[in-house]
Amino acid sequence: MLFNYLKTSILMAAIMAIFGAIGATMGGAQGMLLALLLGGGMNIFSYWFSDTMVLKMYNAQQVDESNSPYLYNMVKELAEKARLPMPRVYIINEAQPNAFATGRNPEHAAVAATTGILNMLTARELRGVMAHELAHVKHRDILISTVSATMAGAISMLANFAMFFGGRGSNGERANPIAILAMMFLAPLAASLIQMAISRGREFEADRGGAEISGDPRALADALAKIDAYARGIPMRTAEAHPETAQMMIMNPLSGGGLRGMFSTHPSTEERIARLHAMTM
């Protein structure tokens, strides 16, 4: 728990540094100060409201026992088994099979599943997936995941402002256009690298934790194989428009050809499946 709070603090500090660098490129010392103030405000906002922001971004609809008993009762049973508070449950109207968890702590958590994953997986496989998402909640890594998604989007936006509006250095001269171009590309890349460092290891841990919660490692392995086989051929519009949220999903939702692997926030599906199968031996 303390380690995840430390990682979140380091992430927020890194994001502040990126904001400061972009501000300095746009407007020297004054630009850096304004960017740091903006970054500080965004850090506070993202801590309290990033989960709501992401759920609205995906037009997720909250469900309960009355309108979605199948999913709701499955999550309730798994949450009780994991000794977690009951999270809010959402459904996203997307054909791509995928799911994610969000929130700042187990008391303020939510899990979301697409209609695609609900239609594609068997009950046993879906149970493995939702157990994986609850493992993220139990490990308390949902905060850093959601904050990084929100802040990476803000960094990309700020870098684009640097490109389109230019700025002036501390001596009043127009900022170097090459520096602005470099910042436009390097700032989002830096945010993506932060996300990659966070995400790869935590997916293995969530797979392991999910298998323990569900008591069925092979079910999650089967679900991952099925999701991987279909997700690549079914685009997810919101994820493509907001790629910073891709690292929250159980499977990378982005289409990207060769670059997909280079900038992937997830370990290889084959390795994840192999580790799950090893748990059954």
Distance CA 98, CA 116 (A): 7
DSSP state for residue 102 in the 8-state scheme = E
Q: In the prediction, which pLDDT does 27 show?
A: 67
pLDDT in tens, 170-179: 455 555 565 5
CA distance 104 to 264: 24
Q: What is the pTM (predicted TM-score) of this model?
A: 0.77
- Report which of residues 135 and 46 the model is more confident about: 135
pLDDT (average), residues 195-199:
59
Strands 61-63 and 99-103: unpaired
**Residue type present at position 218:** R
Catalytic residues, by residue number, are 133
Element (H, E) at 103: strand 99-103
Check if the beta carbon of residue 162 is closer than 8 Å to that of residue 25.
yes
Q: Supply 253's token pair.
A: 């939702």
Q: What is the pLDDT of residues 47-84, one digit of tens each?
A: 666 788 889 999 999 999 999 999 999 999 999 999 99
Which helix (H) or strand (E) segment holds residue 70: the answer is helix 69-81
Answer whether residue 168 shows pLDDT above 90. Answer: no
Place of tokens 């469900």: 63
Rounded Cα distance between 170 and 249, Å, is 42
Instruction: Give the model's confidence band at 106: pLDDT under 50 very low, under 70 low, under 90 confident, else very high.
Output: very high
Tens digit of each residue's pLDDT (9 = 90 or more) over 81-102: 999 999 999 999 999 999 999 9
